[in-house]
Amino acid sequence: MPNGRAGAVALCANSRLMPDLPSAFGEDAFGRRAEAAARFFGTPRYILGQTALVIAWIAVNAVAVGLRWDPYPFILLNLAFSTQAAYAAPLILLAQTRQVDRDKAASDQLEAHREEVATRMQEREAALKAETDELKALLKSNTQLTQQDKELTEKIEALTREIHTRLTAA
């Protein structure tokens, strides 16, 4: 599954390849941004950014006496994670659903292509068989004509000898 900006670009490219697919997010700007966000949640950049934010949050709240807006046990941080999870989970599930639909459409397209190729191959094999049979028939006919030609040539030769013998005998 693509991720980050590259994933969003690949997603847009897939959407253009299969425009008949209904979108779980819609085809509007919100839908595209929502799917891009859902795809971003699994990227290393997001995980590292979130880790840095949590470390900074805990460090500021543990060290800075005057800036403690969320003292230990970091209830506000827990609330932020819960809120983020509440929004991220549906976006991720919808992105997966949409990807499954694209995968199914691609699989169906591939299967249709394979069937079309198989049909063409069968037609081609039938045409080759018919042509081969026709060539065999022509070869057989040619062989028969060659045999007839040989027989006629021998008869003509025999008749020519007979005529020659009669003319020389007379």
- The total number of structural domains that make up the chain: 1
pLDDT tens across 54-69, in order?
999 888 888 876 777 8
Any domain includes 46: yes
Identify whether 160 is part of a domain. Answer: no
Residue 7, CA distances (Å) to 12, 14, 47, 70, 125 in order: 8, 10, 16, 35, 43
pLDDT at 97: 81
DSSP characters for 23-41?
PSS-SSHHHHHHHHHHHHT
* Domain annotation covers residue 49: yes
Residues of the chain with pLDDT under 70: 1-28, 31, 65
Q: Answer whether residue 100 is part of any domain.
A: yes
Q: Is residue 134 part of a domain?
A: no
What is the reported pTM?
Answer: 0.50
Predicted local distance difference test score (pLDDT) of residue 149: 96
Categorise residue 26: left if φ over 0, alpha if ψ from -120 to 50, beta otherwise: left
Please report the pLDDT score of residue 33 as a whole number. 78
Domain membership flag for residue 161: no
Which pLDDT belongs to residue 102? Answer: 84
| Structural domain for 52, as ranges | 4-127
Q: Is residue 148 part of a domain?
A: no
What six digits make up the tokens of 42?
Answer: 């699994």
pLDDT the model gives residue 89: 86
pLDDT in tens, 6-18: 444 444 444 444 4
CA dihedral over 59, 64, 68, 72, signed as positive or negative: positive
Residue with tokens 């997966």: 96
Please check whether residue 136 lies inside any domain of the structure.
no
CB within 8 A of 99, min separation 6: which ones? 1
